[in-house]
Amino acid sequence: MRKNRLRLPIQTNVIDAAYHSGARKLLFLGSSCIYPRLAPQPMPEDVLLTGALEPTNEWYAIAKIAGIKMCQAYRRQYGFKAISLMPTNLYGPGDNFDLESSHVLPALLRKCHEAKANQANQVMVWGTGQPRREFLHVDDLADAAVFLMKHYDDEDIVNVGVGEDISIRELAHLIASTVGFQGELKFDTSKPDGTPQKLLDVNRLFGLGWRPRISLLEGLRQTYRWYLEHETVLV
């Protein structure tokens, strides 16, 4: 909660300072969390503010929505060029692998690695495994960001994703295979699932001519290699 509490004044000051310092263009990064919990799938940009948010991250979502609206307001009032990108779930080298604060992909990667190293026979996965999520490699996000800074200039937000999703159960098995963990994956149904599905409609982005380059399997292998190289520093 502490990190989210600080996010709103930081982004407000950055947007305002960029305008007053004469920045030619600003890129604001939002999140797929801005969309309603039960938004139609895949989620187009125009479903923003059409329904209730996911209760477990509404504070973060509201902060991001405030940033989007501030960018739009500065464009309309001052002509300030600011674009807003909404990336899906991100992963890759340099991710947060702390089991107390990490997201699902790096958490499962570390759990499977440690289970393999300790010769454990099972790994516990939160929830039912049924929710579906979309994952974008951080290098693809960086590439999309540069592309849009060069080729896009409008107040309308732009989703950044890969256009396909995977269930948490399928993801867990894919990570276990990547790591080489051959034990059992058990699903703790007492833990929350969160939003049932989060798949972005990326027609606007793809229509501009951009496509992701890194498949999920390739990205997982790359991320695991990075983790192995930095494991002693991370734990």
pLDDT tens digits, the chain, 235 residues: what are they? 344 445 557 999 999 999 999 999 999 999 999 999 999 999 999 999 999 999 988 999 999 999 999 999 999 999 999 999 999 999 999 999 999 999 999 999 999 999 999 999 999 999 999 999 999 999 999 999 999 999 999 999 999 999 999 999 999 999 999 999 999 999 999 998 988 999 999 999 999 999 999 999 999 999 999 999 998 665 5
Distance CA(60)–CA(33), nearest Å, equals 8
- pLDDT of 156 reads 98
Q: What is the domain range of residue 83?
A: 2-234
- Please provide the size of the chain in residues: 235
Number of domains composing the chain: 1
- Cβ–Cβ < 8 Å for 162, 88: yes
Residue 60 designated active-site: yes
Catalytic residue among 19, 35, 60, 224: 60
Distance CA(27)–CA(200), nearest Å, equals 19
Distance CA(5)–CA(101), nearest Å, equals 16
**Cβ-based neighbours of 74, under 8 Å, separated by 6 or more:** 15, 16, 19, 80, 82
- Cβ–Cβ < 8 Å for 85, 145: yes
CATH for 91: 3.40.50.720
